[in-house]
Amino acid sequence: MILVEMGERRSQTGRELQETLTAYPDRVGVVNWTGANLHGQEALTILNARSTTNKLQQLLLLSAAELPTVQYNNRSQGLDWLPRRIHHQQGYDFTNRRFIRRAARLADFWVKKEEFTDEFRVHVFLTKRDNVRILRVAKRVPATDDHHPWVRSHRLGWRLSYVGGAPEPALQASRAALRALHLDFGAVDLGIRGNGSPCILEVNTCPGLEGGCLDRYCENIVERFTT
């Protein structure tokens, strides 16, 4: 059977994936939905075996592949540099006052603040033929009148709209990001700079899946485990 490895996180999406994939008992493999590194279990076929939620490690790998991403450093380089944790989520480290006050001691790394005209989430999946397939594309749009001016997360008044698409350079960067991080699937978050160029922010290895996204992932997972 197809096992969705969720560890202690037990996300709602992980549970929904597992429930759907149990309908395919003749397929055997593991979908790593934890972000943990499961590489080395050669007896099993594992999707996202080298997955990581360490955002600094992601930036290092993306930079090594010469992909467009944010500037980062192990210390602040000025007023426009922001403190971050290696496992940050939903922009909490941008808005947590306690963390910001103690950033010199608590920050794992620092990034230079960017100004984006738009932000997108691009779901990508590596096929059996080693092609990176675009599953769905969403644009971040305001969900509330009091949305945060630049931290475009769900908890701060933004939502994902799956109407329309992203510029081709953003799609190309998303495909390249998946390969640079040695992943089989992921949701690439990226911004568009004023000159139209993309900037990769991170790749989510256990993203929340809305609507048709869950079906797309299931279809592609089953395809990968089909002999």
- Token pair for 54: 């360490």
Question: 86 and 135 share a domain?
Answer: no
Question: 5 and 37 share a domain?
Answer: yes
Question: 107 and 97 share a domain?
Answer: yes
Question: 92 and 140 share a domain?
Answer: no
As for how many domains the chain has, the answer is: 3
**What do you get for the CA distance between the two ends of the chain, in Å?**
13
Q: Give the torsion sign (CA, 107, 110, 115, 120).
A: negative
Helix (H, G, I), strand (E, B) or coil at 58: helix
- Can you give the pTM of this predicted structure? 0.95
Convert the pLDDT of each residue in 145-185 to its tens digit.
999 999 999 999 999 999 989 999 999 999 999 999 999 99
Q: How far apart are CA 28 and CA 46, in angstroms?
A: 10
CA angle 54/56/62 to nearest 5° reads 105
Convert the pLDDT of each residue in 92-117 to its tens digit.
999 999 999 999 999 999 999 999 99
Q: How far apart are CA 171 and CA 165, in angstroms?
A: 9
Phi, psi of 118 (to 5 degrees): -150, 160
Provide the residue range defining the domain that includes 88: 72-112
Question: 90 and 199 share a domain?
Answer: no
| pLDDT at site 42 | 61
Q: How far does Cα 34 stand from its chain's mean position?
A: 12
Q: How far apart are CA 122 and CA 189, in angstroms?
A: 7
